[in-house]
Structure 1
Amino acid sequence: MLRPEHCLRLLPPVATPGLAASAAPFCCPLHRRGAVHQFRPPRAPALRLGGKPSSAVRASAGPDAAVAPAPPEMPQREVARALAEKAVARLGPRLLPSAVPEDVAEFRNGAGNAVGSLDVRRGAPGSSIDFMLESTLHCKVPNGAIDITSILIFLNTMTDAPHFLLELIQGSSTSIVVILDLLPRKDLALHPDYLQKYYENTRMDEQRSKIEELPQARPYRSPSLFVRSACSPTAVMVSIDCGQGGEGTLEEIVHGQLAAVSKEFLQIWLDCCADSTAEMDDAERDCLLKRDQIVRSKSIEVDLTASLPRMFDPDVSSRVISEIRKAFGVQEP
């Protein structure tokens, strides 16, 4: 979950009901020219990317707290849901059913201004799939909202093929940050055959250029050197800003070019990575496992432990982080 670190740091601290009115205004760098996205009444009852809505959102904060409404059905959620359904349909029996507790599958804070969902499906025994994780976060603040949608599909040490990553971060109705990549699991300079197999032969750069050549797109550079070093040279890392009054243009881009490129990234991953196996000796496998663990631990450290406690009550964020640690195979510090 390699999200833009500087954006997440600007989320407001967790507000108690008595302090909600005095929370600092949201000042997200994702919108530079456009108007801040205004929170609108929900059109869809469910928050999760997949599955059925449950009563966990209401139950997670007690009977006296107002229920945080689900956000409107945004274009990026629709794109992510279509990708998740495509992945599940292809992977089929290689994925186990979700075992995430209800109070983590859907959760909210006591102040009622943030809601989230998490779904984790582990790989079946004998499968090269380690886990598939889908998550959404929506935080309402006095002058807008931030919405984050993620899909991660990680492989285990039966293969050295890349992982799949999609992260969509919207802090304005006219702008969105996109991080889309097949995360390499080897040093590409030391393994040119790996670079050729997964990135050159699959013509990943052509897909990246379809997004970067949009007139509304600007390169996104994470302030975290670790995040930038973990991604491939063909990663889509852009901020798409359509300017004031550009809500319709952004929606067209998300449903059009972004949806098409994301679908192609996933198709390449499904065709070239999901079914891949690799013969490795113990030393190679240990090195691969160590690298995976570093990436997972660092993403939790940089991302979740910094952002979730600012959005959700300590008990809620603790439950969610614990489930993600379990999926990532990362022990508590």
Structure 2
Amino acid sequence: MVVMICGHFQLSPLSILSSSSSSSSSSSSSSRLQLSSSRCSMMDTHKQGRSKFLEFPYVSAPHKNLMLDLVSKVEDRFQSQLLPCTLPPDVQYYKSSNGTSQVSLHITPANTHSPIDFVMGSWVHAELPTGGSLDITSLSAYLNSSNDAPNFVFELIRSSPTMLILVLDLPPRKDLVLWPDYLKTFYEDTKLDTHRQALEKIPEVQPYVTSSLFIRTVASPTAIFVRIQTEDDGGERIDGIIRDHIDRISKQVLGIWLDDCACAERDVGEEDKAYLRKRDGVIRNKTIEVDLGSSFPRLFGPEAAKQILEAIKEYFTV
């Protein structure tokens, strides 16, 4: 990706001006080199931010492997459509002054020919006052109004070696009562609910009910919200559940989203596009306000949280 973009600027209209005169050639060459250098420097920043994001440094090997596989599956499918992350370096990776909280944020927008609006991945590490740490890894993919299919949301929240919360969902972008075919196409025909049922057969897995009424409202009827609590074994059992169950189910759900949602041929009229833009905009604003807006200040302080959230808003604006 870096080579392609830097190469594009070397073949920019500046190269045409270089033949007008020797002085013009020198000036144009200098300008072209400056632009190319600036763009390549930006790409270096992107590479550094991406590398930091892919470290997932504070989670176990099964947890990290799952995150890397999910990111890879999305990027492999849409590689030619995704653009580099342009977040500021101190937003792509932020560490609090006292070193107790860190966040890596990676947002990749897509080109105008893609049904993808953007893909957002992150990891958060925060040391808890009571001891231990809170570790959150997430991957979300948002579609634009050219496709009315559901989005993809995945999140693992681990507050101790023996406690884990999993959020895995394809949130609908239409009212399932008003559009019953939407319910049938994306949730019934794909048999999404079988994955939730399979997970809940594991003895340590219990349904998790979030206190946020907003999150409950926008979730799908097949959403997986589960809490996994195990005996005090240093985390071996939870790692086993991630490796043997969550890994497989998460990849299957992502596969359904890639094949039947993101890459589905959908006929979306102008009226439906307007509806989607309005609904998506309301939900994204509420997500920042209710979810990220309440948790980030506690983790990183008000000033840093504001900077991170402002950067995210640029992508969340419809």
Q: TM-score, normalised by structure 2?
A: 0.80
1:71 aligned residue (38, 58, 67): 58
1:286 aligned residue (237, 252, 274): 274
Deviations 1:3-37 (A, max 9, x none): xxxxxxxxxxxxxxxxxxxxxxxxxxxxxxxxxxx
CA distance in 1, matches of 2:147, 2:225: 26
Contact 1:174 1:243 in 2 (8 A): yes
Taking the TM superposition and a 5 Å limit, the aligned residue runs for 1:74-223 are 75-142=62-129, 143-223=131-211
Deviates more, 1:290-299 or 1:76-85: 76-85
Contact 1:180 1:235 in 2 (8 A): yes
Runs of 4+ with deviation above 3 angstroms? 72-75
Please give the secondary structure, in 1, of the residue aligned with 2:262: coil
Please give the secondary structure, in 2, of the residue aligned with 1:127: coil
Contact 1:128 1:277 in 2 (8 A): no
1:299 aligned residue (287, 305, 313): 287
Alignment partner, residue 53 of structure 1: 52
Mark the runs of 5 or more structure 2 residues left unpaired by the alignment: 1-46
CA distance in 1, matches of 2:231, 2:278: 43
Higher relative contact order, chain-length normalized (CA < 8 Å, sep 6+)? 1
Quote the RMSD (CA, aligned, Å): 2.0
Shift of 1:245: 2.2
CA distance in 2, matches of 1:303, 1:74: 28
Contact 1:185 1:292 in 2 (8 A): yes
1:182 partner amino acid: L
Identity across aligned pairs (percent)?
37
Alignment partner, residue 260 of structure 1: 248
CA distance change for structure 1 residues 205 and 246 in 2, over 3 Å: closer, same or farther?
Answer: farther
Shift of 1:50: 8.0
Mark the runs of 5 or more structure 1 residues left unpaired by the alignment: 1-47, 55-68
Alignment partner, residue 274 of structure 1: 262
Contact 2:49 2:92 in 1 (8 A): no
CA distance change for structure 1 residues 309 and 98 in 2, over 3 Å: closer, same or farther?
Answer: same
CA distance in 1, matches of 2:317, 2:240: 38
CA distance in 2, matches of 1:188, 1:151: 24
Deviations 1:54-104 (A, max 9, x none): 9xxxxxxxxxxxxxx953545323311210111101111111111122111
